[in-house]
Amino acid sequence: GNSVTQMEGPVTLSEEAFLTINCTYTATGYPSLFWYVQYPGEGLQLLLKATKADDKGSNKGFEATYRKETTSFHLEKGSVQVSDSAVYFCALGTGNQFYFGTGTSLTVIP
Partner 1 sequence: DVKVTQSSRYLVKRTGEKVFLECVQDMDHENMFWYRQDPGLGLRLIYFSYDVKMKEKGDIPEGYSVSREKKERFSLILESASTNQTSMYLCASSFQTGTPIVPLHFGNGTRLTVT
Q: Segment contacting partner 1 (CB under 8 A): 11-19, 43-51, 75-83? A: 43-51
Instruction: State the Cα–Cα distance between residues 57 and 47, nearest whole angstrom.
Output: 9
Residue 24 as a binder of partner 1 (CB under 8 A): the answer is no
The nearest distance, CB 28 to partner 1, in angstroms, is 13
Residue nearer to partner 1 on the CB measure, 96 or 110: 96
Among 52, 56, 60, 68, binds partner 1 (CB under 8 A): 52
Segment near partner 1 (CB under 8 A), from 18-26, 68-76, 78-86, 97-105? 97-105
45 makes contact with partner 1 (CB under 8 A): yes
Cβ contact 12:23 at 8 Å: no
Q: Is 94 in the site for partner 1 (CB under 8 A)?
A: yes
